[in-house]
Structures are given as structure tokens and as C-alpha cells.
Amino acid sequence: MTIPLWDVKNNCIRKPSIDELSEATYTLIQLLGMGEVTTYGDLARLLDVSPRLIGRILGKNKDLVIIPCHRVVMKNLKLGGYSIGIEFKKKLLRLEDSLDEEDRVKRDNYRSLYDFLMDP
């Protein structure tokens, strides 16, 4: 089920556009503090879309400093991709002390945005 939006102009409910999903994704990522990471799946669950769509949205992020998409990783806490290269993603995550000696995300740095936002 996709999150419905009210279309005021046409007085009906509609699916969100890719631009609206992108804005929501970027907003959610900004909730992560330095050193915290979440998963593509976590974001997808919040927005009721595919984790692959989240990856495509993040791949188009033009504001890497403002929208810290390097803080989004795969569900197994492996790094996944990064629009300007995985080595740069590693460097950013190392600076934030998010990686262990084997360049895997430290479990303590994982934050479920879904649980944070949806847990009563």
C-alpha cells in the first residue's frame, strides 16, 4: 500500500510522485545524527516503497553535504552503493566512527528510523 496523498485540485486521493517520495526520503535521512546509519529497507518501510526505489532516489541526490545519504546501508549492514564511489562512502563513515576494522557498519551505530518514528 503506497502512502496516499490528498489532491486538493482534483478532490481525490493519489499516489505520491517521485519528487514527493524523494523529498520525504531526504527529510528522513536528515533525522540521523553523525555516526548513525539506517537501512534502505527501513526507509522503504516508512514510505511503503521498495528498498531499490530508495537506492535510486539516493543515487540522484545532488546535495551530498546537506542530505547525508552515506548513512544509508543495506539490511545486513554492508555499505551498499554511493553515487560518487564506495571508497568515498567508507571515508565518510570512518570519519563518523561508524565502521569497524573490516569496514562493516558497527551494530551500535544502526538506528531504525521506523522504530524511532512508529514506536508509540
pLDDT exceeds 90 at position 89: yes
Cα–Cα distance list, 79 to 2, 37, 64, 106 (Å): 27, 10, 16, 11
Average pLDDT over residues 72-96: 93
What is the per-residue pLDDT for 53?
96
Binning pLDDT at 50, 70 and 90, where does residue 17 land?
confident
Is 69 labeled as catalytic in the residue annotation?
Answer: yes
What is the per-residue pLDDT for 64?
87
Question: Could you name the CATH architecture of 16-112?
Answer: Orthogonal Bundle (1.10)
C-alpha cell at 49: 516503497
Q: Give percent of the chain with pLDDT exceeding 70.
A: 88
What is the per-residue pLDDT for 1?
42
Among 69, 73, 79, 105, the one annotated catalytic: 69
Which long-range contacts link 60-65 to residues 24+ away (Cβ below 8 Å)? 60/22, 61/26, 63/26
Quick check: 69 and 29 in contact, CB under 8 A?
yes
Query: Which of the two residues, 111 and 120, has the higher pLDDT score?
Result: 111
